[in-house]
Amino acid sequence: MTAHNFVLTFVPLFIVIDAIGNLPFVISAGEGMTTGERFRMINIAITTAAIVGFAFLFLGQLVLNAMGISFGSFAIAGGLILLALSIRYMITGQMVEVHEQESRELVGVVPIGTPLTVGPATITTLLLLVKQQQGTPPQQEFPLYMVSLSFVLNLLIAWIICMAGTRIAAFLGQGGIKAVSRVFSLLLAAIAVSMVIKGLEILGVLHLTA
């Protein structure tokens, strides 16, 4: 059961972080850099992603409570945002708009660290996974340590993919990377719809029988 629940936390995060889909931008952002500069950029990006992700993971619920926002409302809003992002990606090939003028010192923080690696999709998914253990009645399906472990492992995978970016791009080709990204965007749309449905259930608007 623990292994099963771990998969249920790991896979959604793997899809929304989409390290392979972000690879073309990481490669283009590193053009003209030395190997050391490119590795530094990647390290800054993953560190930024970790800080942003864990900040929302541990403090996100407190922020929602302070603002008087129910988790059901947040799940619906997050699901709609994810759906819009996934549709945008399938149509334009970009989940967020990036600017190539960004300085090399900041490009690892914005946009690679956030919002490309940890953005609205990842933040919403993290909060939703943690919320599973606070249902009514309490489910205790996805404890905080399991969600944290899945998040750390996904960041490690993203770091490895970025570090080996040029080799992966040479193996898959631009067409291969785009094909994988389109599949991930479709899965992200499915996750978005499930978030909206879960939010409606939490608010008592929708009642589905198992």
Contacts of 148 (CB under 8 A, 6+ apart): 54, 57
> Is 167 a member of any domain?
yes
Domain of 121 in residue numbering reads as: 2-202
Alpha carbon separation from 50 to 115, 119, 121, 158, 204 (Å, rounded): 12, 11, 14, 11, 34
> Is 207 a member of any domain?
no
* CA separation for the pair 199, 72 (Å, rounded): 4
Number of domain units in the chain = 1
- CATH code of the domain in which 189 resides: 1.20.1250
pLDDT digits (tens, 9 = 90+) for 79-136: 887 788 778 877 876 655 555 545 665 778 877 888 789 987 788 889 888 875 444 4
Place of tokens 């149509």: 91
> Is 142 a member of any domain?
yes
The model's confidence at residue 70, banded by pLDDT at 50, 70 and 90, is confident
* CA separation for the pair 13, 15 (Å, rounded): 5
